[in-house]
Amino acid sequence: MKTEFNVVIEKDQDGYYVASVPTLKGCHTQAKSLDVLMKRIQEAIELCLEVEEPVSNEFIGVQRVTVTT
């Protein structure tokens, strides 16, 4: 059975790409390139599915919010 997951990808201050899966708590990884990142997050998802069930969140979108600090 194939299941699709939304993956959030960000780039940190050190230049690493960081991927996380909101429906799988603790499911994240990082890499220097997007190609490696996608392979790693697929492996991370497979491992997380061995020990937990995904929560059923509906992805709505991403919004950028500005605050004054």
Which residues, listed in sequence order, are joined to residue 10 by a DSSP beta bridge? Answer: 18
Using CA atoms, how far apart are residues 25 and 10, in angstroms rounded to an integer? 17
Give me the residue spans of the domains in the chain: 8-51
Which pair of tokens denotes residue 27?
């499911």
Decide: 6 and 59 in contact? Cβ < 8 Å. Answer: yes
Decide: 48 and 62 in contact? Cβ < 8 Å. Answer: no
Q: What is the pLDDT of residue 59?
A: 86
Sequential pLDDT tens for the chain (69 residues): 899 999 999 999 999 999 999 999 999 999 999 999 999 999 999 999 999 999 988 889 889 999 999
Q: What is the pLDDT of residue 23?
A: 94
Thinking of the domain 8-51, which architecture would CATH place it in?
Answer: 2-Layer Sandwich (3.30)
Using CA atoms, how far apart are residues 11 and 33, in angstroms rounded to an integer? 10
Q: What is the pLDDT of residue 28?
A: 97
Q: What is the pLDDT of residue 12?
A: 96
